[in-house]
Amino acid sequence: MDKIRITGGQRLNGNIQISGAKNAALPLMIASLLTDETLTLVNVPRLSDVTALSRILSNQGVDRTVAGKRIGQSAESGQTVSLTARQITDTCAPYELVSTMRASFWVIAPILARMGEAKVSLPGGCAIGTRPVDLLLMALEKLGAQITIENGYALARAPKGLKGAEIIFPKVTVGGTHTALMAAVLADGTTVIENAAREPEVTDLAACLVKMGAKIEGAGSSRIVVTGVARLGGAHHAVLPDRIETGTYAMAVAMTGGDVLLEGARADLLQSALDVLTKAGVDISSTNEGIRVRRNGQALNAVDVDTDPFPGFPTDLQAQFMALMTRAKGTSRIRETIFENRFMHVQELARLGAKIRLDGDAAYVEGVAKLTGAPVMATDLRASVSLVIGGLAAEGDTTINRVYHLDRGFEALEAKLTRCGAEVERISS
């Protein structure tokens, strides 16, 4: 099993190209099941989650081709992937494929909408809370599907097709909104989704579905109206830049000091996180090329944060921000409102010398004068990169074990950091 070794203490200077968003690419790839024509996606990141989903889609009958890099492009420029589901050859997505990644469960919606039935294994993924699929299944039931759970599988049937309906989510759910959108676009009649997720990745999926011929109004707001159509066609769509990768590298620069241009990043996708970094004493500026992040010697200020659905502070940046606050002046409070078990990185940051006290859904982080390198263990995707941020500032060497979590969501992480002056090395087992 691979490890990453970091020798801390180096400032970051240079450019980092921001990849396409994993959390946008996955539902966009799944949307290819809605049509028998070709969906071409540009700027798809090279990640293990993308590879895993490609295997699942292949199992369902999706043909996949990947275009080569254009002259002058780096491996970090993203892939152009064409997906064609002329026929869905299997309406069952098996456990051995779905169990590796939670988002793969979303294939239930397009398979059901197009074929009238679907059998999908209950999902796996990072162990950061229960993250049940009950709201996803509720949305399908509102659209007329009959749902049963048997032997670890969700069976959905709608032999006469899905029917438009009102779906009111009791809480904001990105997965539920993705599922409702992909089911409703082929349903008969009008569907109204209330308390819909407003995340940019939802808006990106809706924009792609509209290019495919769907009729969607209100994406990006809490009320989305979908008028079903008989069929969808192919389209060409570029995946939006990854706001979580953007925030992660911004926090890495804030932690180490330096001056880095995050190429292709969009401030509107994570303004709340950028505002928090500004309060912490980091210089943030938007340019035509991306977002510039600078911290040249000034101390970090402790800042309190509550995670919230978009446009609030993202839960997917909570662990990274906690790592940053370990070096701030004073004590910060970080409250996690989305997932009930997303503090597993705390004990690993403590191995680097962090002082963190947990109290229910809140963590109190007392800034320390220095961190010291140590062996640590990644527990999930975002926790793993928080240890990278800690290691970049720690004295001596930090070795991060179980970095397969990193490969799920960060494209060419070692190369991007090394190019900016960090001492980062992957050690293959």
Distance CA 200, CA 290 (A): 17
User: Residue 22 annotated as binding?
Assistant: yes
Q: Give the 3-state DSSP-derived string for 62-77, with helices as H, strands as E and coil as C.
A: CEEEEECCCCCCCHHH
User: Residue 147 annotated as binding?
Assistant: no
User: Residue 131 annotated as binding?
Assistant: yes
Q: Which of 92, 126, 208, 420 is labelled catalytic? A: 126
User: Residue 316 annotated as binding?
Assistant: yes
∠ CA 221-227-231, nearest 5°, is: 125
**AA identity, residue 105:** F
User: Residue 163 annotated as binding?
Assistant: no
User: Residue 133 annotated as binding?
Assistant: yes
Question: In sequence order, what are the residues at sequence separation of 6 or more whose Cβ sits closer than 8 angstroms to the Cβ of residue 403?
Answer: 1, 2, 3, 4, 378, 384, 426
Buried b (16+ CB within 10 A) or exposed e, 27-43: bbbbbbbbbbbbbbbeb
Distance CA 404, CA 297 (A): 34
**AA identity, residue 12:** L
User: Residue 134 annotated as binding?
Assistant: yes
Strand order, beta sheet including 290-295: 12-17, 258-263, 290-295, 283-286
**126 part of the active site:** yes
The dihedral formed by the CA atoms of 57, 62, 67 and 73, expressed in degrees to the nearest 10: -20
CB 361 within 8 A of CB 337: yes
Measured in degrees and rounded to the nearest 5, phi and psi for residue 190 equal -105, 135
Distance CA 248, CA 332 (A): 18
CB 170 within 8 A of CB 135: yes
Question: Which tokens hold the place of 10?
Answer: 């180096």
Give, in order, the Cα–Cα distances in Å from 326 to each of 330, 406, 425: 9, 21, 24
User: Residue 18 annotated as binding?
Assistant: no
Question: In sequence order, what are the residues at sequence separation of 6 or more whose Cβ sits closer than 8 angstroms to the Cβ of residue 61?
Answer: 85, 86, 87, 88, 89, 90
User: Residue 160 annotated as binding?
Assistant: no
User: Residue 351 annotated as binding?
Assistant: no
Binding-site residues for UDP-N-acetyl-alpha-D-glucosamine, in ranges, read: 102, 131-135, 316, 338
List, as residue ranges, the binding site for phosphoenolpyruvate. 22-23
Residue ranges for the known binding site are: 22-23, 102, 131-135, 316, 338
- Cite the active site residues: 126
